[in-house]
Structure 1
């Protein structure tokens, strides 16, 4: 066994469980390191407190004088907890979070009078280098100025000895350079549109808040074993490696007993989450070996997105303490399930109503049907744009791979609601007679209270499924920022609700229909129009691909294909109408995502070539030389009888030679295709070339390498194997 692999396994075997310090009850420590309502009441003046609450609830602006008071209170709170630095914490288009730490400490010009200082100007705005982050051409290198601006709707928090202030990130000319700014605009758009529609049913509704509950899947691998694999270190996944004899086929890991070392990690992580106000609630083993999941209580979408981004960072840092490495890649191991991040989405009013939760009366059921059917219509009208929102090089491995939702976007609603929609569609057109209206409300709409959370079987093959009181967007990748998909989902629903209200108002005004009649008529037409997006069957089947094509649904299996929907005329118009993104911001994101795709495939290609030539081939040749010496010895001993006795060794030597030759030739061809791709001028051309010309070599090279892993002496093989990565805890 190679020295590196042996040392990694030895180090892992010697691990002792990290003792997790028991903290107080979760309810007692929850949010202790968050500048939440309790902390603000204690450290802010009444006027400053009201200003922050007004900004959070109604979007009112905080003037600079009050910002000084907020900064002063925030600083005193932070200092009382041993904090030394502050940072604007933001989410640039790198897919990770960013921060630059500044000390509270300052001195006068001559070095005297040292003080801890933090003013309103430092709270409200900072100036990171906008040209050093992905910007899609919005900023040139010589145009470096950009701004981070405080988002008071997401509370500041302490991590370590640093006060972290959630912010948006924009260019000098005002374009969004992050995930948060467009998300906040989309949330505002759906709030306005949904509130207007809600007032058909309840005049007291003043605000609608989109909610999100994400489910984070991940793999935990021993840190030493992960470090022994260059592909995991550099790409987050294994680019080669033969599947283990035992994988997930016995179905014994899912919901099984959590290993002690993993449980200690989870407990430590949960303690950190409680302090940071991240309301994690559920933990369990997932389907694949060494795969796990955690999920929180639902939150307002902006805060939920921030918490998920923060959580992914915290997970890695806590993993260091437990000698683990967390893998968020959607497909880190071939032959076992990959990881997703299911986004459970709904809408809630300030009067305490879940708009996707069926009520107890026909009128509240009609409200439910209105938002339920409009969401389906929004997905139907924008299925390609929704698919584009989850596109990435890593998620391409998962979508449609018989373990996750397919690349075809469809909606699952279950048999009972399907029947309700069919009955609603069957009502006669035009104005409803009193008998029809009574019959409709009592016999069709009135049935909906029977819809409980478990009234339908779950369809895990559906990318967008109704699950009782929410829609679950199952196709989001585990490594992605939730803001990308949530911006699109909330924007398309906002647009649809605006259109719905126009149609209903037009029927009320022009045809003098009563409100209920108008709503029923519009909803009935939507039901007819959106039938093609509804699918209750097996999304993994080949038959569904054929059927989906007949229905006119897209099947964009690769990121370069899928991303084109981002810059369609319809998408540009939708985002501009809602003031979510202008055409410059949309086109910049398209450019950035194409560039990121090409770069990731480029890195994987280079790493694969390096491992194949510098690990696999030398190891195979070393073993081949041992076989050759063995053959020479056999020939000396057995002479003329050697051909019969040594034929297996000769065959093995030839087989190894064929695989070595196959690796060398394919790596050479792949390198040439990379050079051609790099020479192309546009990001679109490069992404397409890497997808269609470079990436296909990965499977061929891997096949040769994995065959050699089975042929070569285990004592010589340098790379940690799947059985060790997936079953060492």
Structure 2
């Protein structure tokens, strides 16, 4: 083996990292560090005049409009806090339709006429910024030559500091809109959906005699991710450009032994997790759980519930922090939904519930759910929303990357259904059969040894194949992809549930003109669940029987993004968003164009990368090995030795290389034959033609990986990437 043949040293990945190389980690005291880089409402209370603080609190907690005088006082307090903490710049931190975040930094220091400088930051600076709107995805809302856009401060999400080794800057969460007032981001529709959900939910609570200042959806998002050594990442062009391995043979050992899940966390990984958690705590992100996930090299972190808008901001920050800290430990954090073929993909598991500012969880069943009519009302409203808008829920998690994950290994299928457990399914059956009489009890479970405690047993099991599962006092939307923004899935849930509550309230109010609340409510629940019951499925979502059953029920089976996206602009969906002032028709159409273009663009990147790897890395490696085999066959023949094995290997490798060459030609031909000018039709062509053509190249490359000499193979292989830590 020569140095020119072997492009990297596998062991260097493990050998080149050590804890000492990353400096001394400061011991973490959670109470001391939590929120130190976040300016909370309580912090502002100490810095603002009482009347200003009260007005700001009413804006945050009750949605009251903020005036400029309050903004000026808040801006001064923010600047003083930020500069005391060492910040020199501020930025309006926003979330354009790229799915990532964006920021433009401005200094607190402004030169004056005397040649000096003053520190300035006014309410106007706080409330509004003016970034270029022409270079972000707009889906036709903005032409390239029309550049003006605005960022608008979101006072409901706390400002925070970002630190690196050379300084800090202040981040102000903002909405992002065009000069025409149309939303160019994820936050604006989210905040609009919060308002309509609050309005409709308080209307419903009033019928139950409950008053609340504000109701919002609360969210907690479990984040799954992979870690691999940077040594491998930077030697894989596919990981660098597309986030997933476009080629790579299945290793002898993957996740078959089930030994990684909840296993002991490797020291290097744990060191990384501890520092990442410290940075998340400093930003006020309440992470609660960490553990090994199912696939080798896969892990998870999960926070506790927060207001949905803050949770969405924190989710974006979490992804940034996970990737940033990984580099300090010689890792690369992979957030792609399916970075490794044949292994579990990564999701985000969006846990969603409804809560009042007074602390009441409206999806808490209590000890006797059949008697808890308020719970049954909101529970039924959610199920009705999922049934009526299963298309929107599928669209909300649609992407080229998530298409690889849905229905594979432990990810839920593309068919949207709701798991509610045995107890609640029994209650729904009682309701539809004429009356509510009892609730299945949870009880206790003994474990057969006197030294072990008797433990509480839930009334229902869990279902890991369900895309939308009720898990105690919340719903878990398990189909959300690991790399995506959670904002649009929350928008869909908030808006769809608001519509269901509106519909049920209207019916309830009408019935109450002639009869009491209890009788009216039972009739509304029966009407609602009679229509929505087909969305309930407690069985195996992976089974062929469920595919057939779902079709009989009329449920949608939108297997790819190309199948799902066109439904976004259906009349019922546009009417939903417009009725509740969440998005205009133009804004909805813009999302369709943006997401379709992103789908095609991402696949184009994968096509180009696959071709480059095959032509410039795999092909030359196979040729070199063929040359070696040819020389061996020739020399053994001249010596009169039996060279059957060498000949067989030569023919096998040469045949596989010919297959690869043909697959490359076929891919180019397929690209040349694409005819669609319509973007949605082009998406379908890519799904039907380009993806299978790429698959044939992968098959040939993966075959060659198994037969080409290891010292010739130019790419880190799965065995190395997954297990060398």
The TM-score bracket by the shorter chain reads: over 0.9
Q: Distance in 2 between matches of 1:120 and 1:449?
A: 55
Q: CA deviation at 1:426?
A: 1.5
Counterpart of 1:44 (choices 42, 48, 51) is 48
- Listed as ranges, the matches of 1:349-368 within 5 Å are 349-359=356-366, 365-368=372-375
The answer as to 2:703 corresponding to 1:707 is yes
- The residue that corresponds to 1:102 in the other structure is 106
The answer as to 2:90 corresponding to 1:86 is yes
TM-score (norm 2): 0.95
State the secondary structure of the residue aligned to 1:6. coil
Counterpart of 1:688 (choices 675, 684, 689) is 684
- The residue that corresponds to 1:6 in the other structure is 8
Q: Distance in 2 between matches of 1:40 and 1:253?
A: 45
Q: CA deviation at 1:58?
A: 1.5
- The residue that corresponds to 2:250 in the other structure is 243
Contact 2:369–2:375 (8 Å) recurs in 1: no
Q: Unpaired runs of 5+ in structure 2?
A: 445-455
Q: Distance in 1 between matches of 2:656 and 2:369?
A: 69
- The residue that corresponds to 1:432 in the other structure is none
- The residue that corresponds to 1:120 in the other structure is 123
Contact 1:247–1:289 (8 Å) recurs in 2: yes
Q: CA deviation at 1:540?
A: 0.6
Q: CA deviation at 1:576?
A: 0.3
Superposition CA RMSD, Å: 1.8
Q: Distance in 2 between matches of 1:363 and 1:661?
A: 67
Counterpart of 1:69 (choices 69, 73, 77) is 73
Q: CA deviation at 1:46?
A: 2.5
Greater mean alpha carbon deviation, residues 39-48 or residues 346-355: 39-48
1:113-153: CA deviations, max 9, x gaps? Answer: 31111111111111111110000011011111111100000
Counterpart of 1:652 (choices 649, 659, 665) is 649
Specify which structure has the higher proportion of helix: 1
Counterpart of 1:59 (choices 60, 63, 73) is 63
- Listed as ranges, the matches of 1:251-330 within 5 Å are 251-330=258-337
- The residue that corresponds to 1:434 in the other structure is none
The answer as to 2:13 corresponding to 1:15 is no
Contact 2:443–2:457 (8 Å) recurs in 1: no
Q: CA deviation at 1:651?
A: 2.2
Q: CA deviation at 1:195?
A: 1.1
The answer as to 2:398 corresponding to 1:391 is yes
Greater mean alpha carbon deviation, residues 93-102 or residues 60-69: 60-69
State the secondary structure of the residue aligned to 1:595. helix
Q: Unpaired runs of 5+ in structure 1?
A: 429-439
- The residue that corresponds to 1:151 in the other structure is 154
State the secondary structure of the residue aligned to 2:8. helix
Q: Distance in 2 between matches of 1:448 and 1:370?
A: 21
1:359-379: CA deviations, max 9, x gaps? Answer: 357797110111111111111
Q: CA deviation at 1:203?
A: 3.2
How has the CA–CA distance of structure 1 residues 299 and 575 changed in structure 2, closer, same or farther, with 3 Å as cutoff? same
Q: CA deviation at 1:11?
A: 4.4
Q: CA deviation at 1:37?
A: 2.3
Greater mean alpha carbon deviation, residues 719-728 or residues 682-691: 682-691
- The residue that corresponds to 1:533 in the other structure is 535
Contact 1:283–1:294 (8 Å) recurs in 2: yes
1:77-97: CA deviations, max 9, x gaps? Answer: 000000011000011010111
- The residue that corresponds to 1:516 in the other structure is 518
Q: CA deviation at 1:457?
A: 1.1
Q: CA deviation at 1:287?
A: 0.3
State the secondary structure of the residue aligned to 1:312. helix
- Listed as ranges, the matches of 1:354-503 within 5 Å are 354-359=361-366, 365-427=372-434, 440=436, 443-444=437-438, 454-503=458-507
Q: Distance in 2 between matches of 1:379 and 1:354?
A: 19
The answer as to 2:501 corresponding to 1:507 is no
The answer as to 2:657 corresponding to 1:663 is no
Q: CA deviation at 1:648?
A: 2.4
Q: Distance in 2 between matches of 1:680 and 1:7?
A: 46
Q: CA deviation at 1:205?
A: 2.5
Q: CA deviation at 1:69?
A: 1.4
Greater mean alpha carbon deviation, residues 10-19 or residues 519-528: 10-19
State the secondary structure of the residue aligned to 1:182. helix
1:542-587: CA deviations, max 9, x gaps? Answer: 1111111111111110101111221111000000001000000000
How many residues are matched? 706
Q: CA deviation at 1:8?
A: 6.0
Q: CA deviation at 1:194?
A: 1.0
